[in-house]
Structures are given as structure tokens and as C-alpha cells.
Amino acid sequence: MDPFLNLPLTCGSHHLFITAIRKHNDCQCEQLTATEIDLARIQWIKNSQYQIYATEISNLNSPNSSNKQSTLVRQLRLFIDSNALLRCGGRIHNAPLTQLAKFPYLLPPKHPFTALVVYAAHVKLYHSGVGTTVTALRQSYWIPRARQYVRSLLRRCVICRKYSGKPYTAPDPAPLPKARLQNVQPFSVTGVDFTGALYVYNRGEEIKVYVCLFTCATSRAVHLEVVADLSTETFILAFRRFTGRRSTPHLMISDNATTFQAAAEELKALYLSQEIRTVLSHEGVTWKFIPKKERPHGLGDFGSA
């Protein structure tokens, strides 16, 4: 049974087919009228009620029904209308509402016809949520524990799951690299990254600057350097200021930004020079790049290195 069938047309088609069979006529595929759709809906409601609430209907039809009313009859003030259907009473008889809204039909939960009614209202309201669907249903029907029942049905709506489904959960994080778990001096293993552009005033003129972040991979300490642009020369100057304050790191970790690649090449060239080579050879600075498809999830998070 497809839950997204058009309920009035389906019920009307069934009723039209049964009527044609009873009259021994060939079933003609003609347009359904409003009267035929209403008759079919009434017949489906009656069938579902007599299947589930046969005891309540029998008690209400008995002469001494007031002496042996069930709990459901008393709570919902059930009565039988002129079409032999169970309807719910209430205290809003004088409200400016339709008779169907004041005395809705009682539908049994977890019944195939009730599921079709819920799905038809859900589709008619353009796949709205649980609250809107329940509100629309209560204009004509009363379903016990309607909110829980509607919620359980809408979880199986394929279209709603496409638009409101949760994304795939992230995999478990990998173990931390060995470089982050060593007992070394701060900034011996350092990660570097840039923030977005910031606008500051310099002598009354607004200029754009960036912040270069040097993060210690073991202690999570942060060193900030303000730079005027993202050029290689500017980064080298910021790196020199950093090493002058925090000492030269053994390992530098960064992503695959073009600035860092060019800076690493220049650092390698400087390392080959006699002056820089003498200074860095004692420390042995190594530069690592995070793979292009694996970016750090936060400042100082270098689990991919």
C-alpha cells in the first residue's frame, strides 16, 4: 500500500468500482463527483470504526447504554450520528465552527485507513511538520494519541527525510601524532595559520591587515603577529619576530596555502645559505604540510600532520 496515494480519489475509485459491480455494469473510468468521494469516505470510516470500536458501538446502541459505558466513551463523549458513525462530543457546541470541527469522527490509531488519512493531510500541506499536520487532522478527525502516531508515520516519509535528515556522522578522530605528545619546550612543534582580513585605522586611514597565528602543538599556547599582507616576504618577517620571542621550533606544521609553500621554499633556500645554515643546523627546523583534503578543525588541531 503506497502511503502517498491521494486518499479521496482512492476511496472514491473503490466505491465507484463496487457500485458498478453491484449494478452488473462495466466500470467506467469517469470523473469522480464530490458525492461519490463523500460516500466512499463515510464507508471507509464506518469500516475502520466497526473493526476496532465494535464494543463501544454495541454499548451505545443498547437500551441501557448509560449503565455500562466504557472509559473511552465517557472521556470522548462519543455518540452515533445519523450515518451510524462514531463522533466525539465536547463543550464547544456554540463555537462558530463547522459541525465536523465541533464533533470530529473518531479514527482508530494504527489502522491502515488512518495512516492514509494522515499521509493525505501531510502531502496536502506540502510535507509540513507534526504540529501542522495534527492541527489539520483535528478539523475533521480525532485520533487518540495523535501526535505520537503522526510523528511515527512522518519518520517514514522519504521526501521529508531527504530535506530534514541529519548528515552522516563524522568518523572517530584519529590518534594524536607523536609530535603532540612529547614533553618538550613550548613552541618546539608549532602550527601556523592566517585569520581573515581585519580592518584597522592607521593615521586616520582604514587599511586591511591579517593576523598570523603560531600555535604550540603541545601546550596550545598562541603567538600572534600582525602582518600587512599575505606575501612571502611579510611572512618571513613575522616568522623571524616569532623565533626571536619564542625560539626556533623543531617542526612547523601548516596547510597547503600558496603563501606557506612559497615561504617554505624560501626558508629552504635560506637554510642552504651559510649564515642561516649555521643558525638552523643546531635546531633542525622541519616543515610539514597537512594534506590538501584534510584541513585542521580548529586552531592548534594538527591531528592530520
Exposure b/e, 286-298, CB count within 10 A at least 16 = b = ebbebeeeeebee
What is the rounded CA–CA span in Å between residue 182 and residue 185? Answer: 9
Handedness of CA 194, 198, 202, 205 (dihedral sign): positive
The pLDDT value recorded for residue 9 is 45
Residues in the chain: 305
The pLDDT value recorded for residue 4 is 38
What is the rounded CA–CA span in Å between residue 2 and residue 8? Answer: 14
Higher-confidence position of 170 and 103: 103
The 10s digit of each residue's pLDDT in 230-289 is 887 788 888 889 988 988 888 888 776 666 666 666 555 555 556 555 555 565 677 777
What does residue 206 show for φ and ψ, rounded to 5 degrees?
-80, 125
Asked if pLDDT for residue 294 goes beyond 60, the answer is no
SS3 assignment, position 15: helix
Least confident of 23-32, 77-86, 150-159, 180-189: 23-32
The pLDDT value recorded for residue 137 is 94
CATH number assigned to the domain with residue range 178-289, chosen from the 4 options 3.30.420.10, 3.40.50.1860, 3.30.160.100, 3.30.365.10: 3.30.420.10
The pLDDT value recorded for residue 142 is 94
- Residue 164: how many other CB atoms lie within 10 Å: 11
The pLDDT value recorded for residue 224 is 94
Exposure b/e, 139-161, CB count within 10 A at least 16 = b = ebbbbeebeebbeebbeebeeee
Domain limits of the chain? 7-164, 178-289
The pLDDT value recorded for residue 14 is 59
